[in-house]
Amino acid sequence: MKRFKLAEGSLNVADAQVDALVIGAGAIGLAVGRALALAGMDVVIAERAQQFGMETSSRNSEVIHAGIYYPPGSLKARMCIEGRERLYAFCGQRGVAHRRCGKFIVATKDTQVPGLEKILGNARASGVDDLEWVDGAAVRALEPDILCERAILSPSTGLIDSHGYMMALLGEAEAHGAVLACHTDVTGIRRSGANWAIHVGGEEAPALVARRVINCAGLWASETARLIEGLDAAFVPETRYAKGCYFSYAGRTRFRHLIYPVPEPGGLGTHLTLDLAGGARFGPDVEWIDTLDYEVPPSRHAKFLAAVRSFWPGVDPEKLQPAYAGVRPKIGGPDDPAADFRFSAPDEHGVAGVFNLFGIESPGLTASLAIAEHVRSLVEGAA
């Protein structure tokens, strides 16, 4: 893989002019970099960490979502459904490990059935047309350990090897001339004629000149946008952090589908997902935090145990163990947890060559290829 470090003295600025600088090398940044490279642009993807995909893209459930929960007509709903099909095709054509395993959304008591009906209506209004009503007996025939009165079966939900997916995106981007620059902390984005001078590591001299800047920095998107000379702060929303912890399960289980409860505010509830090797994990819960923190306190065991027991009474408490945590970059707070994706282009903020992506959280991984195509169209439309 081609990689370089952008730092003072590492490049001759006159020789380091590119069509597009993509900031952030998670799944979104890599997908956008690939899409722009495929469109014939010279692309650099800058990543502040030592490797790609080390934050949100590698700290999630690795679920390919069907598009069930998002408001009809929202960007999340439309891009999840489009992205889901693009993602399955991409993985199948390029040998990325994945499995269309399906999931059950379960009502464990009769009082939760109206919640399922609301979910079903929302999903159908969004264009998800393959959901099925299943009674408790039918669920138990497939998943005998589950407590369930009624359920929705989503056959389009699946699992993906997120690292393998990002490797495939990067490989294809690089094959079309894109370059990944790790250890590259962008600290200034200043006007240079019709282009942008990119400063890294606090250095006064620019390391790169780019015609366009595409901010895919995820957790750091708002912070990065504030570095852009001439961009009005009114067009930079606050990024809020919603932390989610996961617990894993030691030993094998009999589950073949993902199991989701009726959602809770801020997330989809503590659900059961599987990895591609069949191991079970549970989460995420939801905690609003002010600073990044990936610790999973063992003290959360009791809360997780209670949540899991609500749909799997036979869970062994001794096998439930702290695993990892992720943080979602949200542009809505606890009172607006369903805030939509936001794409801020020159036709909105008036700054030529600047494209900001805010609030790209779940279902961002599923929607990544659709997001990338949307960004490509914005960039080409603003040319």
19-72 confidence digits (pLDDT tens): 999 999 999 999 999 999 999 999 999 999 999 999 999 999 999 999 999 999
Question: Which pLDDT value is given to residue 337?
Answer: 64
Question: Which pLDDT value is given to residue 165?
Answer: 98
Whether 373 and 38 have beta carbons less than 8 Å apart is answered as: no
Question: Which pLDDT value is given to residue 197?
Answer: 97
- E strands along 186-310, which residues? 186-192, 195-200, 208-215, 240-249, 258-261, 271-274, 280-283, 287-289
DSSP string, 39-56: TT--EEEE-SSSSTT-SG
Number of H helices, E strands in the chain: 9, 20
Name the amino acid, one letter, at 133.
Answer: W
* First-to-last C-alpha distance (Å) of the chain: 30
Tell me which long-range contacts 227-231 makes (C-beta under 8 A, separation of at least 24). 227/186, 227/187, 227/188, 227/189, 228/189, 228/351, 228/354, 229/189, 229/190, 229/191, 230/191, 230/351, 231/349, 231/351, 231/354
Distance of alpha carbon 102 from alpha carbon 125, whole angstroms: 20
Whether 269 and 284 have beta carbons less than 8 Å apart is answered as: no
Question: Which pLDDT value is given to residue 307?
Answer: 93
Angle between helices 364-381 and 27-38 (to 10 degrees): 40
SS3 readout for 31-42? HHHHHHHHCCCC
Question: Which pLDDT value is given to residue 10?
Answer: 42
Distance of alpha carbon 232 from alpha carbon 367, whole angstroms: 28
Whether 119 and 77 have beta carbons less than 8 Å apart is answered as: no
Single pTM value for the model:
0.94
Distance of alpha carbon 319 from alpha carbon 58, whole angstroms: 23
Distance of alpha carbon 64 from alpha carbon 302, whole angstroms: 28
What are the pLDDT digits (tens) for 164-175?
999 999 999 999
The pair of structure tokens assigned to 283 is 């989460």
In the chain, which stretches have pLDDT less than 50? 1-5, 7-14, 266
The pair of structure tokens assigned to 160 is 């993906």
Distance of alpha carbon 78 from alpha carbon 139, whole angstroms: 29
Distance of alpha carbon 62 from alpha carbon 331, whole angstroms: 22
- Closest to 332 measured CA to CA, from 260, 262, 266: 266
Whether 42 and 21 have beta carbons less than 8 Å apart is answered as: no
- Work out whether strand 208-215 and strand 103-107 pair parallel, antiparallel, or are unpaired: unpaired
Distance of alpha carbon 175 from alpha carbon 77, whole angstroms: 31
Domains with residue ranges and CATH for the chain: 13-57+163-238+338-381 (3.50.50.60), 103-155+240-330 (3.30.9.10)
Question: Which pLDDT value is given to residue 265?
Answer: 52
Burial bucket for residue 350 (CB in 10 Å: 0-12, 13-18, 19+) = exposed
